[in-house]
Structure 1
Amino acid sequence: MSDEKNPGTPGAGDDETGDANQPIGFRGSGDKGDAPTGGAQDPLAAMFGGGELPPELRQQLESMGLGDIDPAMMQMVQSQVQAMMSGSDDGSAVNMSVATDAARRAVSEAGDQSISESTARDVEQVVQVANLWLDQVTDMAPPEGRVRALSRAEWVELSMPVWETLTEPVAAGVSAAMTGAMQDQLRDLGDGELPQIPGLPEGMDPRQLLGQIEPMMRRMSSGMFGAQVGQAVGTLATETVSGTEVGLPLLPGETIALLPANVATFAEGLGVDAGEVHLYLAVREAARVRLFAAVPWLGPQLLTAVQDYARDIRFDTEGIEAAVRSVDPSDPQAMQEAVAGSLFSPDPSQAQRAALTRLETYLALVEGWVDVVAGRASSPHLPNTEALAEAVRRRRATGGPAEKAFASLVGLELRPRRLRDAANLWAALESEAGAAARDRAWAHPDLAPRAADLDDPLGFVERATSTDTDDTSMDEELERLLRDERD
């Protein structure tokens, strides 16, 4: 048929307004199959549906270098833009499908092996031994979850829902910032008003296009941020030795997990038998998961602190715009790297400072407690316990590429900067009042040590032990009164 339509192009069967599912401003300029004016020979016009471009818009596009892009590249960009504009919008700030694919791709490129049955059994036995040792030094019950030997890809799959929760506030802010910038640029075209956009019905206020910018930018930002999340999580998967080594409850169901490939890499160069390294790391992981399981408020407080920090992030819009102008717009990788390096304003807000203090304190308290308890549990059995503890402290203090990648997403590093201070506090409390008092300090957020207590551990020990004494006296007095009443 002479009037047959090409896929995605308005043709003879369209009504006066074109395909209702196609975004305004990305249709051809003619009705019922009329050829766009100038679109066939003009790649910039083709990108926007084939109609004549307003001079101001053309000038801005050419100043960005888009006028010199290879036609094949322009065709690819056009298809991506149109897919972005017409794709579904679920309102999510992070495209987790993109994130998971990117993480698995990063893991695959770094190398990953499936877990054999013998390796899985070895990990189960190692964790069983670790739990037996921990039973001797803490009354906190073992977690009820599974013991897992995980490949890097499996760790990605299990931890990704928590990463989505942590990065969602930042991603939402990025989307809002990008949307606002795009809307401001559109408003600034011409003499402070929008020019007529190709494809808009005659007489339609061009500002109605702004209503479509938000879902478009949300989809684009969601995909871009999803790719960054995936890259960061994939990088972390190649380094982390256990399920919760970063100090957050990342895995579901109180799972105790080790990543044998990463444990083997960590053991290289330590001068310690690999089996001893494996056992020590299992004790630390089992202790950390035991703590999260026994203290139900702790995990949510840690995650909330990250979210509170991320939610109040301010974006360096001038830095982002300068970074975008400095790179080749046809190089997506360079564009992403430039934007990532200029994403956040360098000055944290007062709310961020409070959230950061809370997060760093809890991370230090968790790792300090794990440090003390793992040391007590391991030292009677492992001759190199202190050397291994020091290696772990250095590893957590210096961070690595994975932590830097995560910092680019939420503007902070998951690092227990005061791990040694926290370990000293827990050791002092245990020395003064015993292991039961050490663990009882986790009973409620109001009883747990705070940032100031890390500066004065002996003061905290004095308050904690005096409270314990007062509580014991009150219990004894109550028991005496009840006994007298019964008599």
Structure 2
Amino acid sequence: MPDRDEPNPMEEFFKQFGLQPGPDGNYDLNQLMGPLQQAMQQFSRQMDAMGSGDGSHGLNWTFVRDIARKVTAASGPDPSPTPGDASAVRDAVGLAELWLDQHTAFGRSAATAAAWSRAEWVEATMVTWQELAGGVSASLAEAISGVVQRPEPEFAGMAGFMEPLMRQAAAGMLAAQVGQGIGQLATDVVSVSDLGFPLTERPVVALLPANVAAFADGLDQPLEDVRLYLALRETARQRLFANVGWLGPQMLALIGKYARDITIDAAAFEEAIESQLSGGMTPEALQEFGSTVAGRLFQPSLTPDQVETLARLETLVAVVEGWVDDVVAQTTAGLLPRAEALLEVVRRRRASAGAADAALKTLLNLELTPRRVRDAANAWAALRSARGVEERDAVWAHPDLMPTAADLDDPLGFAERGSKPAPAGDDLDAALAALLEQEGTPGSDSGPDSDH
């Protein structure tokens, strides 16, 4: 409850309409109805001008997209890739495909090569983010009901009038926060699946030339070599996602399950909503507010289910990125000077809490730190050395064959045990179907990538 000696944000909000409490300190509900309805209609028109949400507490994804685009624009110039950029990416991907043919059992995917601006990355990944983050908005309902059922007597009976306005304001705030997270990611990723999981509806090997140049800045390496190295990593991931049918859906299922369990920090939410009520709820104000509260509206503590889901997801991302490390290390040996130095740069980037980590925290309250990528790379390398490339890649035939945390502790033991028979195809289909039904994965075949 607010300190009664301090100005009440709700009172300040009502003063905008010239409304004052009566002699008994309470408000006349009949007097309030007209101004509140007018405020709600005005705000609805402002938000509808940029696209509508998907329900009473759904997110306005047109607004999310608009915020994300503005964040990328504010981070610096974001020119559309030139024909020369597109040609350079196609050449790098073409060479990467040729080199990878010799070092993985997986055939080439149908993915096209593309050079994207940051804004194009936002547009191309938005459908997947909508599927992953859309469920978070359901957590608003409980938080909103807690705010509108205010204990102060002067606000008694007002829930029915205030709740619709609160819902729209809350959905706008959350949309602004989600847009901030997506925009921040766009400023950091160097390729479409740089986070470690697929993010597009259709396979594509896309690099972001502006972000690649920023990655290469200060490395004392030719930009062409850096571009080729990053193209190798992205092309290897896309081959993996294309050839391992269960992988992308399972990663998205885990992220979606984690996101659905997100809860709103009631105290932070009440403070935020009162600030908005007293300061105005225009789209411009919500955009500014999104950057102010980014990452603070979610409950900081995780549920036991979220902890377990996050551990599974981090292990899976580590196994994916470890496989990419091993494949690319073997592919570049003797062909790309100083490839080992570039791998160390990638590993340092993973270990540091960078822009992508902050963005995932803002977007999904997700602190994805696959600390065991190096251990996973060692396990894949041990299996390849002991049994060859074919047997290393055959492990991806079924999720039950994947290295566990115990295997990452004992790479040589994993190499000895790595040729376990895969379950029958029907069993795999049944197990994957059960997982998707249980965890409600998005319908796309792609998902985010996290290697930070």
TM-score grouping bracket, smaller chain normalisation: 0.7 to 0.9
Aligned residues of 1:242 and 1:258 also touching (Cα < 8 A): yes
Q: 1:264 aligns with which of 199, 202, 213?
A: 213
Spell out the pairing of 1:128-143 with structure 2 (5 A cutoff).
Answer: 128-143=94-109
Deviation (angstroms), 1:189: 4.1
Does residue 327 of structure 2 align to residue 389 of structure 1? no
Q: 2:364 aligns with which of 393, 405, 410?
A: 410
- For structure 1, which segment, 392-401 or 283-292, has the greater mean C-alpha deviation from structure 2 after superposition? 392-401
Number of the residue aligned with 1:282: 231
Deviation (angstroms), 1:304: 1.4
Deviation (angstroms), 1:453: 2.3
- Aligned partners of 2:405 and 2:267: how far apart in 1? 35
Aligned residues of 1:45 and 1:53 also touching (Cα < 8 A): no
Aligned-partner SS, 1:242: coil
Number of the residue aligned with 2:81: 115
Does residue 115 of structure 2 align to residue 161 of structure 1? no
Does residue 203 of structure 2 align to residue 254 of structure 1? yes
- Aligned partners of 1:417 and 1:371: how far apart in 2? 14
Structure 1 pair 229–379 and aligned structure 2 pair: CA distance change class (3 A): same
Aligned residues of 1:57 and 1:189 also touching (Cα < 8 A): no
Number of the residue aligned with 2:3: none
Aligned-partner SS, 2:206: strand
- Aligned partners of 1:147 and 1:334: how far apart in 2? 36
- Aligned partners of 2:422 and 2:314: how far apart in 1? 30
The residue type equivalent to 1:132 in the other structure is L
Post-superposition CA distance 1:17-76 (Å, at most 9, x none):
xxxxxxxxxxxxxxxxxxxxxxxxx9855756x6665665669xxxxxxxxxxxxxxx9x
Does residue 292 of structure 2 align to residue 345 of structure 1? no
The residue type equivalent to 2:216 in the other structure is A
Aligned residues of 2:379 and 2:411 also touching (Cα < 8 A): yes
The residue type equivalent to 2:135 in the other structure is P
Aligned-partner SS, 1:442: helix
Deviation (angstroms), 1:402: 3.2
Number of the residue aligned with 2:246: 297
The structure with the larger Rg is 1
Aligned residues of 1:142 and 1:290 also touching (Cα < 8 A): yes
Aligned residues of 1:327 and 1:338 also touching (Cα < 8 A): no
Does residue 239 of structure 2 align to residue 239 of structure 1? no
Aligned-partner SS, 1:270: coil
Unaligned runs of 5+ in 1: 1-41, 60-74, 198-206, 472-487
- Aligned partners of 2:422 and 2:62: how far apart in 1? 54
- Aligned partners of 2:422 and 2:13: how far apart in 1? 78
What TM-score does the superposition give when structure 2 sets the normalisation length?
0.79
Structure 1 pair 339–43 and aligned structure 2 pair: CA distance change class (3 A): closer
- Aligned partners of 1:47 and 1:343: how far apart in 2? 26
Aligned residues of 1:138 and 1:439 also touching (Cα < 8 A): yes
- Aligned partners of 1:254 and 1:97: how far apart in 2? 24
Does residue 87 of structure 2 align to residue 98 of structure 1? no
The residue type equivalent to 2:206 in the other structure is A
Structure 1 pair 398–57 and aligned structure 2 pair: CA distance change class (3 A): farther
- Aligned partners of 1:146 and 1:57: how far apart in 2? 65
Structure 1 pair 321–334 and aligned structure 2 pair: CA distance change class (3 A): farther
- Aligned partners of 1:101 and 1:81: how far apart in 2? 22
- Aligned partners of 2:210 and 2:86: how far apart in 1? 12
Deviation (angstroms), 1:385: 0.8
Does residue 317 of structure 2 align to residue 363 of structure 1? yes
- Aligned partners of 1:307 and 1:193: how far apart in 2? 38
Aligned residues of 1:233 and 1:402 also touching (Cα < 8 A): no
Post-superposition CA distance 1:426-485 (Å, at most 9, x none):
1111111111111111111111122332223333322223x26999xxxxxxxxxxxxxx
Spell out the pairing of 1:154-233 with structure 2 (5 A cutoff).
Answer: 154-173=120-139, 175-185=140-150, 188-190=151-153, 193-194=156-157, 209=160, 213=163, 215-233=164-182
Unaligned runs of 5+ in 2: 1-10, 29-34, 425-452
Deviation (angstroms), 1:221: 2.6
- Aligned partners of 2:268 and 2:12: how far apart in 1? 29
- Aligned partners of 2:240 and 2:423: how far apart in 1? 26
Aligned residues of 1:93 and 1:218 also touching (Cα < 8 A): no
Number of the residue aligned with 2:256: 307
Identity %: 44
Post-superposition CA distance 1:172-219 (Å, at most 9, x none):
21x21332223322xx3428952xx6xxxxxxxxx6x26x72x54443
Aligned residues of 1:364 and 1:419 also touching (Cα < 8 A): yes
Q: 1:330 aligns with which of 279, 283, 289?
A: 279
Structure 1 pair 89–442 and aligned structure 2 pair: CA distance change class (3 A): closer
The residue type equivalent to 1:180 in the other structure is S
- For structure 1, which segment, 228-237 or 329-338, has the greater mean C-alpha deviation from structure 2 after superposition? 329-338
Aligned-partner SS, 1:364: helix
Number of the residue aligned with 2:450: none
Deviation (angstroms), 1:357: 0.7
- For structure 1, which segment, 403-412 or 274-283, has the greater mean C-alpha deviation from structure 2 after superposition? 403-412
- Aligned partners of 1:322 and 1:443: how far apart in 2? 50
Number of the residue aligned with 1:317: 266
Structure 1 pair 438–329 and aligned structure 2 pair: CA distance change class (3 A): farther
- Higher relative CO (Cα under 8 Å, sequence separation at least 6) belongs to 2
Aligned-partner SS, 1:357: helix
- Aligned partners of 1:413 and 1:43: how far apart in 2? 37
Deviation (angstroms), 1:278: 0.8
Aligned residues of 2:178 and 2:362 also touching (Cα < 8 A): no
Number of the residue aligned with 1:15: none
- Aligned partners of 2:191 and 2:406: how far apart in 1? 30
What TM-score does the superposition give when structure 1 sets the normalisation length?
0.73
The residue type equivalent to 1:431 in the other structure is S
Aligned residues of 1:327 and 1:334 also touching (Cα < 8 A): no
Deviation (angstroms), 1:152: 1.0
The residue type equivalent to 1:152 in the other structure is R
